[in-house]
Structure 1
Amino acid sequence: MFIAIADDSGLGKGTSIGTARDCIENPYTLQSINLGSGEGIGHQFMERVGGELNQHTEAVMFLVNEIDSLTAMQGRSASTVTPTLCSAWVGEPLGFAYVDKNKRLPMAEHTYRLTLVCGVQPKRARSLIEAAGSGLPQRFLWFPALDLGAPELDDDVVAPEPMRWMLPGGDLERALGAGSYSVPVAASIRQQIRKERSARMRGLMHVDELDSHRNLSRLKVATALAFLDGRADVSEEDWELSGTLMAVSDATRGHVVDALHRLKVEEARDRGKTKGAEQIAATEEVHKVNDAEDWAWGKIKAEGSVREGELKRRCPSRFKDYLPEALARLERDKKAKREQGKRKDSVSWHKS
């Protein structure tokens, strides 16, 4: 399961993770570590000892405190982090076929558990949302750090006791030694998922690209709710409650998409302003050169011949920077011609 906690800086994205740890007390150890490269993911589970493969960890929660970190990872040359995460989300085999056998750390499907929690500032989420072609953003559940329904609290409020939780017993507990357990899902849920899947495969149903993994995401949520409730099977009530969470996720993701759209509009407006300012400045420059040319031509035409030094001395200050270009234009248009005097610095302009 991948979670994106979205809100502006300082609203508690990181605090949410710590609060979740405090809320649930359980006897199991969960390793958490900051996400690195795609290749590094396997090293958190596997190692080679004496040339033999050894899986030292079964479950890891990867953290990305700010989405910019994931953006940087995705931008590296030959980065494998995105395809590795996409594969891990559905429990597919992981690992790379390195020439050096000691670097190969293959993991079989469904032999590991991997979760990812990212802090996301909406206006910084472009690299994630726009990677829909890779399938990565579709795999995220989106939740806000902001809680508009939070009660007003003061220092006298007593912190609640944490929820004490253990894995459901029975068949699941007995299956842990074997490493796998098939979670029973209510027949009505299975039928709904299969019906929608069939309609999509036959082209009878279209879903938004960002919702392409929606039912599997929802089923993961429903399963988590069942486990939290102490049951190892998914009921219709779990499915109904998971729909509520999905609605929150949809709304939060919509907020992020809207923020990115507004940002694009602002950027386009700023680019337009910059371009407009450049065009105005360029037009003003042309007008100033034209005015300088008219002034210089008026002097040369009236006097027949004028020394360049005299033109520079008499030229109004607003035209001085444009006088060389103005004289060059007059020469190109054959209105005036330049004549070198006996001294190197002596130049005169004559009417052609």
Structure 2
Amino acid sequence: MTTLDLDAVRDWFERVYAGAPGLLSVVHVDATGTFKGTGGGIPDIDGAVRRIAGLDRAGAQGIYLRTTTLARPLESHERGTEADSLALPGLWADVDFGEVGHKPGRGLPLPPSADEAWRIVSTSGLPEPSLWVHSGGGLYPWWLLEAPAVLDETTRPIAAKMSAAWQQALKRSAERLGYEYGAGVGDLPRVLRIPGTVNRKGGLERPCRVVQDNGVAYTIEDLTKALQAVTPAPEPVEQRPTRQRVELVPNTGASAFDLLDEYAAFDDILTGAGWTKHHGSHPPSIDECWSRPDGPDNPCSAHTLKANPHVLVVHSELAGLPTGGGQKLTRGRVFAHLHHGGDERAAAVDLFAAIGGRPSTPAAAALPLPRETRPVTRPATSSTIGLHDLVALEHQAQRVARERQHDDEPPPPPTPTFDIERDDFWTARPELEHVRAFARARLASPWAVLGCALARVVAHVEPFVTLPDTIGSYASLNLFVGLIGPSGGGKGAAEGAAKDAIVYSPLLGPQLVEAGVGSGEGLAHTYLRYVAGKGKERGHVEQHTTRALFRAPEVDTLAALKGRQGSTLLPKLRDAWNGDALGFAYADVTRRLDLRPHAYRMCLIVGIQPARAAVLLDDADGGTPQRFLWMPVQDPNVPDITPTAPRPHKWRTPPLPTASGTRTVLPVYPPAEAAIRQSARARHRGEVDPLDGHALLCRLKTAAALGLFNGHAEVTEEDWALSSIVMAISDHTRASVVRSLLTRRDAATVARGRADGLRESVAAEVRAGEAAKRVGRTILRKLDGDWTNHSDLRRAIAHRDREHFDDAIERLQAAGLIESEDVDNGAADGARYRRIEGAAA
């Protein structure tokens, strides 16, 4: 059970607020989920610690501290504003990750793990944080000042602008990585969880704690220079008279994406990025289908549906695009992910640059967009940014992603090392300590050995033991483990160590059957066989095995089997993970082996070289990658001196709960079930990726396996907490495999896209020129010797040709066929035209 750590609370106050003038403001969310954020003002640290202890005893779901101290006590009805801020201890961020306890983003997803949340900060170009706080659902990096800054009427608004600009830098970094970051957390009255307290949001108890203290501190000038370094200066622009202004102003991405939807197809965007369109037969519901760059020849990596051709559905995690349903991948979002790291603002600016004839990426220039060839007018501004000019940083934010994509710049600071050791996990239970010790004695990765051990434990449990019917029907314990590493990297060593480290004793039946992976149809043959009748007796099917551990030392085995004509291997493996029925309706009764649901136990261990992992990652639309635990076979903390291996650990199937009919259901920690139900509701509402349900069920299976390994047949609070650490290792490992594969194919994709884009750009310019000539002829027919207002003349042009109107006007004026003059009629265009006498219509 997670409990309040008052020593950690006091350490936090003394580390951050010692010597800060003003009052401390502690607020909370009570046991009913109601925010209690009014009133307050505590004069010292002792009083704040006592207040926190009382709130925890009352069952508060969350206890928070205002980041700035108060200049005055607040009345019972007051929440406090920016004007009440007295001392600023530093700058901060609040990077949410995962889905538990968080509302879904409005476009981009939250980072899936703490490692990816950490990467948003580490690649932002901002300096190293002084310390990191893990809130239980997010990360708080803090950049502490050498001494708290005392604020007054002059410096307070400057500090607020600086904090807001800091958040914008982090938002740009998140969007480059394809993640959502809520930049509204920089306000001076912001409250954050206090390290040492317990995060009880969502029915789960998680500690809020300091996870890294780097011991560094900064001055205001240090942080100002850091902002200057990550903020682009405005680019010089050409001035011209107001009368000639024809700029399309990219205030938001909406109009840019509207034009993209109107003039470009998904095929224009995807083939320009190296994708291949498939023209063969597809299921009736599919409209168009493409395979990713460097992907297999035949699989469909992404498709559109006839019922909704405006949205792309992506299957492969190696495509560089969000996978699964519910992503709402419009043409604009696809373009942003392929060419701007998911930054939709940068993508909109790029598209408008291409439309306006200004420098843009080759990908934008190659699209069949309307072309506006006139230069753009913007006020000239200074590129100097000082402490008192920080508000200008927000207005320049949308430029930074595009400029960083194409400028030569030093590499970002290295990502802080992911804590793969997790000593708190291994020391939590004796059997886990045993696994780590035995693995290190055999020079194998503890995480890989643990994955194999859990698969073996579950494989020894009879199939009638299930998880409860929290959603839909009962869930199987069947567990799949991937061992991730290069060839010869230790996958075999991990399997061997797991087999030798533990003496497995099943409760019932014969010893465990171990088998290789064959075809999808052949899985049932491991458990069933047809027995021919004697004489006039009819033959029958009998089940000779209930428990089996399948092994595929190399993932290439799965790839080869999947590549066979009509292969059903991956769908059948997904069925087996769920415990669903296995078998095929063959006409030949000797081959018709139907394995009933939850009548078999199947666990699977697959060796996966990162460069060969596409066979699983390309099946993300079916949820195959989310059904695996991805365990690393390399151990960065391997000791220099090999320890002696401990004696094997003896494991026996623990006593089981009372059976209900033919099924035994393991009890589950209620908050875990509540989290699963909450996730299911969010999927029904379209708020999260439907495939995330597989990941949460995989965590529940892992928690059950840890419980069985520990000797109890239930999922306890500690099992659920430990499973989150295993899943974090799994998510981190899978993400590293995806990044590796994407990096390998990026260079070739960019080269192909640039070549194709250049050819298309030339063709697009020719098409635009011909269209302008056609519109010019129409304009001459509409004009006579009388003046015609700009807006009236433009409305006379067909809607499909209006994008070429300004270009046609400019050509006609240059040719001496029409004349124009400025007028002050209150209209935005302020111009009118007439045909010059003698000009042919």
Other-structure match for 2:501: 23
Which residue of structure 1 lines up, in the alignment, with residue 708 of structure 2? Answer: 227
Aligned to 1:217: 698
Please identify, of 241-250 and 50-59, the stretch whose mean Cα deviation from structure 2 is larger.
Answer: 50-59
Equivalent in 678, 689, 702 of residue 207 of structure 1: 689
Q: Are residues 1:158 and 2:636 paired? A: no
Confirm or deny that 1:35 pairs with 2:517: yes
Q: Distance in 2 between matches of 1:127 and 1:235?
A: 35
Structure 2 counterpart SS, 1:101: coil
Cα-to-partner distance string for 1:13-36 (whole Å, 9 max, x where unaligned): 121111111111123422111101
Identify the residue that residue 63 of structure 1 maps to in structure 2. 551
* Shift in Å, 1:57: 0.6
Corresponding residue for residue 622 of structure 2: 134
**Structure 2 equivalent of residue 303 of structure 1:** none
Q: Is the 8 A contact 1:111 1:179 kept in 2?
A: no
Offset at residue 163 of structure 1 (A):
1.1
Is it true that 1:242 corresponds to 2:730 in the alignment?
no
Tell me, in whole angstroms, the C-alpha distance in 2 between the residues paired with 1:146 and 1:93: 36
Q: Matched residues in 2 for 1:206 and 1:170: separation?
A: 35
Work out whether residues 61 and 116 of structure 1, in 8 Å CA contact, stay in contact via their aligned partners in 2.
yes
Question: What count of residue pairs does the alignment treat as equivalent?
Answer: 269
CA distance in 1 between partners of 2:697 and 2:611 (Å):
27
- Report whether the alignment pairs 1:96 with 2:96: no
Q: In the alignment, which residue of structure 2 is the partner of 1:198?
A: 681
Shift of the 253–148 alpha-carbon distance from structure 1 to 2, 3 Å rule, reads: same
The AA in structure 1 aligned to 2:680 is R
Q: Distance in 2 between the 1:58 and 1:117 partners?
A: 18
Rate the CA distance shift 1:271–1:199 in 2: closer, same or farther, 3 A: closer
**Which residue is 1:188 aligned to?**
671
Secondary structure at the aligned position of 2:727 is classed as helix
Matching residue of 1:168: 654
| Aligned counterpart, 1:9 | 487
- Relative to total residues, which structure has the larger helix share, 1 or 2? 1
Instruction: Show structure 1 runs of 5+ residues with no match.
Output: 277-352
Amino acid corresponding to residue 657 of structure 2 in structure 1: D
Change (3 A) 1:14 1:88: same
Partner of 2:263: none
Post-superposition CA distance 1:254-284 (Å, at most 9, x none): 01100110111144368689x89xxxxxxxx
Shift of 1:153: 2.8
Query: Given that residues 200 and 206 in structure 1 are in contact (C-alpha distance below 8 angstroms), is that contact kept between their aligned partners in structure 2?
Result: yes
* Partner Cα separation in structure 2 for residue 19 and residue 267 of structure 1: 40
Change in Cα spacing, 1:208 to 1:22, as seen in structure 2 (3 Å) is same
What secondary structure is seen at the aligned counterpart in 2 of 1:33?
strand
Task: Provide structure 2 residue ranges, at least 5 long, that are not aligned to the other structure.
Answer: 1-478, 533-538, 757-841
Say if 1:43 and 1:258 are closer, same or farther in 2 by CA, change over 3 A.
same
* In structure 2, C-alpha distance between the alignment counterparts of 1:42 and 1:64, rounded to whole Å: 17
1:87 maps to which of 562, 575, 583: 575
One of 608, 628, 632 as aligned partner of 1:120: 608
**Structure with greater Cα Rg:** 1
Task: Please give the root-mean-square deviation of Cα atoms over the aligned residues, in Å.
Answer: 2.3
Identity %, equivalent residues:
40
Q: Tell me by how many angstroms 1:8 deviates.
A: 1.1
TM-score (norm 1): 0.72
* CA deviation after TM superposition for structure 1 residue 150, in Å: 2.3
3-state SS of the aligned residue for 1:171?
coil
Amino acid of the structure 1 residue aligned with 2:594: P
Deviation of 1:86 (Å): 0.7
SS of alignment partner, residue 168 of structure 1: coil
